[in-house]
A = this chain, B = another copy of it.
Amino acid sequence: MSTPVFVTPSGKKLVTVIAGDGVGPEVVRATQRLIEATGAPIEWEEREAGAAVFRRGLPSGVPDDTITSIMKTRIALKGPLETPVGFGEKSANVTLRKLFETYGNIRPARELPSVPTPYSGRGIDLIVVRENVEDLYAGIEYMQTPGVAETLKLISAKGCEKIVRLAFEVARAEGRKRVHCATKANIMKMSEGTLKRVFERIAPEYPDIEAQHIIVDNCAHQLVRRPEQFDVIVTTNMNGDILSDLTSGLIGGLGFAASSNIGNDAAIFEAVHGSAPKYAGKNTINPTAMILAGVMMLRHLDEFAAAAAIENAVLVTLSEGVATRDVVGDANAVGTIEYTDALIANLGKRAASGQTRDYKPIKMPQISSAVDFVRPKERRVVGIDIFIESAQSAEELGPAITRLVAETPLYLKLISNRGTRVYPPTGAITDNADHWRCRFLANDDQADLDDATLFDTLQRVSAHYRWAHTEKLQYFDGAPGFTRDQGED
């Protein structure tokens, strides 16, 4: 088993089932029926989350007894959840991922028989492994000024190591040969660069797997040019969001896109699609995405034979041209229930095309859970960035702020506006916003500044200008922990 499992007295593996909203109950029921038909030793614990819960006034959309159930079972099979407008700000889906630290989102994309796409016949069969808890998705935002918004993109070395090791372990568990790491490290040398550096450090521990870094925009380009070159792609949360939806498109759309959110303590299996309320209760929705999520769940529970039986039944049934309306149009379609019946009837048959892989359990990475995951030998504080709001020009601000810190241990190195140096002037034509970064560095370039000195700088500036934000400037083991501006020497 990849993570702990709760086994009932009768020897069955307990799974928390959340039917979800809209079409959720139909696709989840189809998945349960198939799993039951395989005879796999699974027992369900039905729990609630989503729209009805929000409407009862619970702002997380996830009741305590649902959380308690997953704490016990460690496994959830989950239908799509809605956040009704006006009830809470946060998605119940994200709440669940965060509650159980399911740091890896695994998104397979595989060509399916009789699901025609522009890439049919080319054998697309890849997995996107997306970091699932940090990055821009943390949703940490501040209006810096009335007209300038800021979102923090936070990337930790620990988070990168977990997702990189998970990607290699997924590759091994599925007998895959190659892992691409997609980043924008050329522009974001610190945040995206951390993922690239961690990837390059860890890759040699997996000599059986080819490791290659690729710039994320080129990755998107290559995915539409030659998708068959990819096997596993590991990437940060926001980039992974875009790349994984792109890859779902390559193989026929969200009707076939399954997903697992896995961590060392729990795993949640779901379809990527939403609750599609307009199709709810109509017996027309394609349940394949949810069913393939069920297949991923069975493998997670070491029920490899049942997983292979269902996967083969999907391939056989689609090959026979039996499919829902999204695939074959209204005239030739079967309903959700009839499609599921056909799948059940095909359990035990082996697909001619599309061999299933020889899966092994994923060996979940075990890395240090130390909070201070990286410990430098030497560090010092060399200055402070103070972001101010002002309607003045760079030419007015520069000399005035220089004077404010005259005769102190710091000097004004530069002012920049959204990353471009505007003081001292560069000759650039810059259309400025009212958000100015003032960078103060120690006159003594070997100094290690104390807080009192930094507070003095902040107080001098704030006496004349409205400040919004400060960043301490530090060196770690001799390297600057901050980037230079466009135009900075």
Contacts and interface: CB of A to CB of B under 8 A. Distances in A.
Interface stretch (A43-51, A184-192, A352-360): A184-192
B246 A224 contact: yes
B222 A249 contact: yes
Contacts of A427: 67, 99
B142 A420 contact: no
Nearest to A374: B147
A262 B184 CA distance: 24
Contact of A191 (B141, B217, B225): B141
Contacts of A152: 150-153
A391 B368 CA distance: 13
A114 interface: no
Interface residues of A, number: 126
Contacts of A447: none
Contacts of A328: none
A398 interface: no
Contact of A458 (B90, B455, B483): B455
Contacts of A216: 241-242
A364 interface: no
Contact of A245 (B220, B238, B376, B458): B220
Q: How many copies does the complex hold?
A: 2
Contacts of A212: none
Contacts of A418: 133-134, 138, 154, 156, 159
B146 A476 contact: yes
Contacts of A459: 451, 455
A462 interface: yes
A468 B467 contact: no
A249 B119 CA distance: 13
Nearest to A239: B242
B433 A149 contact: no
Interface in A68-109: 89-90, 94-95, 98-101, 103
Contacts of A420: 98, 133, 138
A486 B100 CA distance: 13
A118 interface: yes
Interface string A386-423: 00001111000000000000000000000010111000
A467 to B, nearest CB: 7
A429 B71 CA distance: 9
A372 B144 CA distance: 12
Contact of A242 (B142, B220, B254): B220
Given A152-B150, A159-B433, A469-B470, A218 B245 contact: yes
A472 B451 CA distance: 18
Contact of A101 (B371, B429, B455, B462): B429
Contacts of A148: 154-157
Contacts of A266: 429
Contacts of A239: 242
Given A221-B249, A222-B249, A481 B428 contact: no
Nearest to A192: B151
B193 A149 contact: yes
A435 interface: yes
Contacts of A376: 146
A162 B482 CA distance: 30
A146 B375 contact: yes
Interface string A160-195: 001000000000000000000000100111111110
Which of A224, A225, A430, A470 counts the most B-chain CB atoms under 10 A from its CB? Answer: A224
A482 B419 contact: no
24 contacts: A90-B486, A95-B487, A136-B187, A136-B188, A137-B187, A140-B437, A140-B483, A140-B485, A143-B190, A146-B376, A147-B156, A148-B156, A149-B156, A150-B153, A150-B155, A150-B190, A154-B435, A158-B433, A184-B241, A221-B248, A221-B253, A225-B253, A451-B467, A455-B458
Interface of A: 59-60, 67, 89-90, 94-95, 98-101, 103, 118-119, 133-134, 136-159, 162, 184, 187-194, 216-218, 220-225, 238-239, 241-246, 248-250, 253-254, 263, 265-266, 369-376, 379, 385, 390-393, 416, 418-420, 426-435, 437, 451, 455, 458-459, 462, 467-474, 476, 481-487, 489
